[in-house]
Structure 1
Amino acid sequence: MGRAAFAVLALAAGSALAADQELRVYQLHFRQARDAAVLVEPLLSPGGSVLLQPSLNSITVRDNPQVLRRVADALASWDVAPASYRVRVRVLLASTEAQPPGKPAPLISGIGAELKELFHFTSYQEVATVQVTASDGSAVEMAAGERYHLGFTVRGLSQDPERVQLAQLQLARRDRSSENAEVLRPLMRATVTLLLKQPSVLGGARAENANQALFLVLWAEREEKQ
């Protein structure tokens, strides 16, 4: 509090306030003070000014009361908690092996019929399903069953709130090096944009056997704030 007061006094001493001007300190909670100048500066009057205080994550604005109210409203809309998303990934192993006569391969719930129409595989086996909740900008790393590893970064799209991006998505196989240390062998890399609450299929990466391939079924929804 003392450092914030000192910053306000220093600003006032450096340039006297006009009769209609006031000083106001705005404390930011979710966004960075260094990013606020682009938002605040266009709102200032010709005689107004803004002082950034990154160490306190606050800004001090000198201007008339009407401008200060506009700045307060703009910051209240901008300085909000990042959106949170629930992401589900299903890892499927597809095969071209012939099925026994009279025994059709079971369809993967919710997506199996579509996969059979799109790809020339005779069966699909679900080998892992993982779900995670992550906020906008968060990097996710997690195991997908015993054999595989998933990684991606969640990115909300401000221009299209009904979609979310899984950036730098990677599916890797967990393996052992010659020194018996665990290593990740990448099988699939992509950046995928998902329509919320709609499944999307990504694949197919070559599996261990030549007649098999791996697919990912991706699904996401925004978590409602409590």
Structure 2
Amino acid sequence: MKLKTLMLLLICLFPSLYLQSQNITVKGIVKDHYENPIAHVRVKSSSSHAEVFTDTTGFYAIDVTQKGKLVFSQAGFKTQKVSVKGKEIVNVSLRYDDKRYEEKEVNTGYGKVKQSESTISVSSVDPKLIERENNLDMATYLRTVPGVSVIEQNGDLNILIRGNRSLMSSDAPLIMLNGSQYNGSLKNLNPRDIKAIDVLKDGSATAAYGSRGANGVVLITTK
């Protein structure tokens, strides 16, 4: 009787174990909490060695077991683990990891000061990210800055800084490269040459740059 009971139990468990071992292709989009797609996010299966990276649109596709879990990670963001639960579409919103940023100096337009001492709203691309991931493009760097939206259109980058929207004129922020106004395409800048990227986001930027800074200012420093 005990043998029969054990056999029946194994028969009942077998379909469940079989389903758990079956791989499915999971696809999705990874964005930040401002709805900007995030490129180069590492997507890894917690139950195997499978891993992929998101493309410039935040898209990924990976094979994983139906009962498996996916781990999403990128420098500057909080790592997130998500259970697949048999779903073939898993979209994820990553949040910025403010605790990982040590206090650093930021460029305010008047000079560099500690971020806690600045009265101007300044956000910066994590210098550790620039140093460690110097193969990323400018769009990816800028998308790590809260409140900055980057759209790739007609071979160029259109940048919009949150809170600066105009129906009558351009929304484009002022781009400053090593202290001089830059009118070229950001795609022409070599990411390996970048040392720092700071973004002035509020009206205080106008004080340093006049009306040119009304839509915010992107300050780029090269090595």
Same fold (TM over 0.5): no
- Into which bin does the TM-score normalised by the smaller protein fall? under 0.3
**Which structure has the highest strand share of the two?**
1
**Which structure has the highest helix share of the two?**
2
Q: Point out the structure with max Rg over C-alpha.
A: 1
Q: Structure 2 length normalisation: TM-score? A: 0.28
Q: Structure 1 length normalisation: TM-score? A: 0.28
